[in-house]
Amino acid sequence: MLLLTSAFPRLKRFDENGMDVGEALVGRCLRSWQANGFRIVSVHNKAEEKLLGDGFPGVEYRFVEEDLGPEARKTPSFASVLAAAPQDEPVGIVNADVFMAPSPDFAERLAATAADSTVVMHRWEVPSLTRRQGHRFDLGVDLLAFTPRKVAPALASFVSYPYQLGVPWWDYAFPVAASLYSPLMLVADPILLHHTHDQAWNDGEWHRFAGLSAGFLKAQAEEPSANPRLARELQRRIARIERDHYGSKNPKDTDYALAELTIRWIHVFSEQRALSLLSEMELPASGRTLDDPVEDDLLEGLLAANAAYNSADPAEASEIRRKMPRREFKGPPPLALYKEISTESTAGQVIGAGFRDIGRVILSTGKLLERRMRRKRRGYS
């Protein structure tokens, strides 16, 4: 099975002792893929050809010349990366700094699974490859495997946008679009290991690609060949986000809501078909849904308001929303630190966001205690 990447050999990665281990890291990662039975194509811009030298043994290199504009990175576009993909065979897109733990027959098993599904795999964050104690990173997809012919409408549209390897949002938007043509499946095994480092994108880039992804997903939801049930649901939820944030004082709120939708979409639909390729065992569905549960005492009011809300234009919907009954708890919202802080934030911004989070925790705890007291007075346990 073929893996597509862009493996530049020089990275900066510091271990727990402060030593830079980046120079050897990419080579270790590529060799781990080869040891698991994968072929590798690494795509680069032509300007990097001399810097790469002889490259890594056994890796096929392809060099492209493209002008991606002043805001673009130096990494290749997905149009160039996916030009190397066979149309009728399963392929994988993988980040170059992900190490693959030894897994018997993994390439063959993954290829068989990706023949009929779009496979997502999350990485496990570890402090170093020698001390493998970490957690699964659910806010992104580090290996995506699929058969290009099966998701052709999504691919054709995707490569027309300026997505590049290494930029944010591609691993949110593309799996959601692919799910409209090929069912998502999660490989849950802790196979992909990632040496933790600071995020490589900035806030402006994240929001720019959020806007591009909104347009991409809206167009995909209108594709005639898409799964009609899922396409209607995606259309409805994107429209709901636009209505909910119409006239918002912070235009970035729409981006955060779309990110929450795409992440939840990937989790819900992939976890319904979770699998362990190490043991070829199907795993029980997680039980996650696209919606948080609705409080029983508000259900009738919400249902009555929803009919008018869904048919209203954005200005009318904004007015209706102000009159709709509110739930005390909406599930775990994205907190200020998660939504607002990046590696470019000042110390004051981090402290301010932290205080906002503390305030939310105190407020939520107070509401929970108040609710329990009310229930106790009514005679409930």
For 310-322, the pLDDT digits (tens) are 566 666 666 665 5
Q: Lowest-confidence range among 28-37, 59-68, 252-261, 288-297?
A: 288-297
Could you give the number of structural domains in the chain?
A: 3
pLDDT of amino acid 310:
59
264 occurs within a structural domain = yes
Same domain, 310 and 365: no
Residue 135, classed as helix, strand or coil, is strand
Same domain, 175 and 311: no
The CATH number assigned to the domain holding 214 equals: 3.90.550
The DSSP secondary structure of 41-108, one letter per residue, reads EEEEEGGGHHHHTT-STT-EEEEE-----TT--SSPBHHHHHTTS-SSS-EEEE-TTEEE---TTHHH
Please compute the mean of the pLDDT values over residues 194-219 and round it to a whole number.
84
pLDDT digits (tens, 9 = 90+) for 249-267: 777 888 999 999 999 999 9
pLDDT digits (tens, 9 = 90+) for 144-173: 999 999 999 999 999 999 998 888 899 999
In this prediction, residue 306 has a pLDDT band, given cuts at 50, 70 and 90, of low
pLDDT of amino acid 199:
59
Last residue of a domain, one of 225, 260, 282: 282
Q: Are strands 143-146 and 118-121 parallel, antiparallel or unpaired?
A: antiparallel
Instruction: Give the HSE-up count for residue 232: Cα atoms under 13 Å, Cβ half-sphere.
Output: 2
pLDDT of amino acid 200:
57
Q: Give 104: exposed, middle or buried? Use CB within 10 Å, 0-12, 13-18, 19+.
A: exposed
The answer for 18, left when phi > 0, alpha when psi is -120 to 50, beta otherwise, is left
Take residue 28 and report the two structure tokens written for it: 């270790």
Same domain, 80 and 107: yes
Distance CA 89, CA 77 (A): 21
147 occurs within a structural domain = yes
The rounded mean pLDDT for the chain is 82
Distance CA 339, CA 363 (A): 19
Q: Is the pLDDT of residue 305 over 60?
A: no
Same domain, 262 and 370: no
93 occurs within a structural domain = yes
Q: Are strands 39-45 and 2-5 parallel, antiparallel or unpaired?
A: parallel
Same domain, 381 and 339: yes
Distance CA 276, CA 5 (A): 24
Closest CA to 268 of 110, 115, 124, 138: 138
Q: Lowest-confidence range among 131-135, 231-235, 242-246, 311-315?
A: 311-315
Last residue of a domain, one of 217, 250, 282: 282
Question: Which residue segment(s) compose the domain that 300 sits in?
Answer: 292-327
Same domain, 175 and 270: yes
Same domain, 230 and 346: no
Please compute the mean of the pLDDT values over residues 121-128 and round it to a whole number.
86
Following CA atoms 378, 379, 380, 381 in sequence, which dihedral angle do they give, to the nearest 10 degrees? 140
pLDDT of amino acid 320:
62
In this prediction, residue 225 has a pLDDT band, given cuts at 50, 70 and 90, of very high
Higher pLDDT, 177 or 49: 177
11 occurs within a structural domain = yes
- In single-letter form, the type of residue at position 302 comes to L
187 occurs within a structural domain = yes
Q: State what percent of residues in the chain have pLDDT above 70.
A: 78
Q: Is the pLDDT of residue 295 over 80?
A: no
Take residue 288 and report the two structure tokens written for it: 């996650």
Q: Is the pLDDT of residue 328 over 70?
A: no
pLDDT of amino acid 353:
82
pLDDT of amino acid 104:
86
Same domain, 66 and 95: yes
Winning range, highest mean pLDDT, from 66-75, 91-100, 274-283, 329-338: 91-100
Same domain, 316 and 344: no
Q: Give 71: exposed, middle or buried? Use CB within 10 Å, 0-12, 13-18, 19+.
A: exposed
In this prediction, residue 300 has a pLDDT band, given cuts at 50, 70 and 90, of very low
CA dist 219 → 153, 161, 231, 313 (Å): 11, 12, 10, 20
Last residue of a domain, one of 247, 282, 317: 282
pLDDT of amino acid 330:
44
The DSSP secondary structure of 340-376, one letter per residue, reads H--TT--HHHHHHHHHHHHHHHHHHHHHHHHHHHHHH
287 occurs within a structural domain = no
pLDDT of amino acid 224:
94
Same domain, 350 and 271: no
91 occurs within a structural domain = yes
368 occurs within a structural domain = yes
pLDDT of amino acid 297:
37
Please compute the mean of the pLDDT values over residues 60-86 and round it to a whole number.
83
In this prediction, residue 216 has a pLDDT band, given cuts at 50, 70 and 90, of very high
Same domain, 321 and 333: no
Q: Is the pLDDT of residue 34 over 90?
A: yes
Same domain, 207 and 262: yes
Q: Give 35: exposed, middle or buried? Use CB within 10 Å, 0-12, 13-18, 19+.
A: middle
pLDDT of amino acid 271:
93
The DSSP secondary structure of 203-257, one letter per residue, reads HHHHHHHHHHHHHHHHHHHT-TTS-HHHHHHHHHHHHHHHHHTTT-S-THHHHHH
